[in-house]
Amino acid sequence: MKAILQRVLALAAVAIVVTGCATPTPPPHNDYTAFRQADPRSVLVVPVVSRSVDVDAPDYFLSTISQPIAERGYYVFPVNLIKRVMEDDGLGDANLVHGSATPKLAELFGADAVLYVVIERWDSKYAVISTTTTVELSYSLRNGKTGDELWKHSETMAYDPAGGQNGLLAKAIVAAFEKAKPNYIPLAKSVNGLSVARVGRGLPAGPYDAKYKTDQQQY
Amino acid sequence: MKRIAIAAVAVLLTACATAPQSKYDWGSYEQSLYQYYKTPAEMNALVASLDMTIIHAERSKHVVPPGLYAEYGYLLLQQGKAQDAIVYFNAEKAKWPESATLMNRMIKMAEVKIIGEVRQ
């Protein structure tokens, strides 16, 4: 009896392994026709338009956007250098930049594609023991030569800095600490990271990624 | 049989966790850049952080992430070290050809600064 039970357990475990990770039918991915045709190698991130009253939101965004795009295999122009040089060139106003022609801007820096991001929402609801911050960002990547849109995405996320903690006391301590000096780098990192890297929805592998031009099944 | 079961479960536990491996070593780039935006007076902290990340990557024969040589060079330029800045702008251009247009422009900017200093 014991032997049979063991055998059943073993089979069940194997069955879990077989089915556990497999996604039966991959969800239909975005249309990447224009993206594949443009085949951009480099991405220029221009000043972000923010509709939030939170003055820190654009800084959180800018600090965490380079890494995920570079890890997808693209050259990302140095965001701080670009920010300062654009300010010196009279292009520091995000609304103005978002409203002007892409090719001219791309040519100025030699960029294949330009990323325009709008922070639609970034607000915090304070409660007794925790704070929930909800953010919504929309992304638009445009062809540096034609200005045509290559990729479009919108991401919404709610974040509770105390979420991972157990027990009320721990939560209270974290909330007090976060209220004093909130750090939303992890949140900004997640939003940018998920937007760029989600299979079928994010950016296809770029020229510095091993899967470059071989990921048509996913993208 | 029991061993197979345990092995299978172990495989299950590890197989699904396929976090994509990082191509580059970013050091504390994100946090340091954010801190710099909050307290621009403490530019030296960002300079030191970038310097450390670059040295660390080069020593361990890793690729320095795109943009980092250029960010570092630009801060040096702001600190009046135009000659050093050019070295890093050239490093960015050599590693990442996509940056050539921008880096040529930055090198010119640094050269103008050097000439200006000589004239004074």
Determine which helix (DSSP H) or strand (DSSP E) holds A91, and give its type and residue range: none
Can you tell me whether residue B81 is helix, strand or coil? coil
Contact A209 B23 (CB under 8 A): yes
Contact B67 A189 (CB under 8 A): no
Cα–Cα distance measured from residue A137 to residue A154, given in angstroms and rounded to the nearest whole number? 6
Local structure of residue B41 (DSSP, 8 states)? G
Cα A170–Cα A171–Cα A174 angle in degrees, nearest 5:
85
Nearest neighbour of B24 by CB, restricted to A20, A70, A80: A70
Residue B86 token pair? 């050019």
Q: In chain B, what are the domain boundaries? A: 28-119
Q: Residues B3-11: contacts with CB within 8 Å, 24+ apart?
A: B4/A10, B4/A13, B4/A14, B5/A6, B5/A9, B5/A10, B5/A13, B5/A14, B8/A10, B8/A13, B8/A14, B8/A16, B8/A17, B9/A13, B9/A16, B9/A17, B11/A17
Measure in Å the smallest separation between the Cα of A203 and chain B Cα atoms. Answer: 14
Residue A43 token pair? 């991405």
pLDDT, tens digit, 9 for 90 and up, residues A50-70:
999 999 999 999 999 999 999
Using CA of residue A189, residue A184, residue A119, residue A66, what is the dihedral sign? negative
Angle between helices A79-88 and A57-71 (to 10 degrees): 130
Percent of chain B with pLDDT strictly greater than 90: 78
Contact B61/A at CB under 8 A:
no
Interface probe for A, chosen from B102, B107, B108, B112 (most Cβ of A below 10 Å), is B102
**What pTM did the predictor assign?**
0.83
- Contact status, residue A122 vs residue A52, Cβ threshold 8 Å: yes
**What is the value of ipTM here, to two decimals?**
0.85
Contact B101/A at CB under 8 A:
yes
Interface probe for B, chosen from A48, A65, A66, A87 (most Cβ of B below 10 Å), is A66
Measure in Å the smallest separation between the Cα of B120 and chain A Cα atoms. Answer: 23
Q: What share of chain B is helix, strand, coil (3-state, %, to 5)?
A: 75, 0, 25
Contact A208/B at CB under 8 A:
yes
Residue A74 token pair? 């693209």
- Contact status, residue B36 vs residue B47, Cβ threshold 8 Å: no
User: CA of A211: how far to CAs of A73, A208, A216, A217, B36, in Å?
Assistant: 9, 9, 10, 11, 35
**What topology is assigned to A30-197 in CATH?**
Rossmann fold (3.40.50)
Nearest neighbour of B71 by CB, restricted to A7, A17, A81: A81
Ramachandran sector of residue B13 (left: φ over 0; alpha: ψ -120 to 50; beta: rest): alpha
Domain B28-119 of CATH type 3.30.43: no
Nearest neighbour of B1 by CB, restricted to A7, A76, A77: A7
Q: What is the pLDDT along chain A (219 residues), one digit of tens a residue?
A: 566 667 766 666 555 555 555 555 656 889 999 999 999 999 999 999 999 999 999 999 999 999 999 999 999 999 999 999 999 999 999 999 999 999 999 999 999 999 999 999 998 877 776 678 899 999 999 999 999 999 999 999 988 766 554 445 555 555 555 555 578 999 999 999 999 999 999 999 999 999 999 999 999
Which residue on chain B is closest to A64 by alpha carbon? B30
Cα–Cα distance measured from residue B51 to residue B59, given in angstroms and rounded to the nearest whole number? 12
Chain-centroid distance of CA B106 in Å reads 17
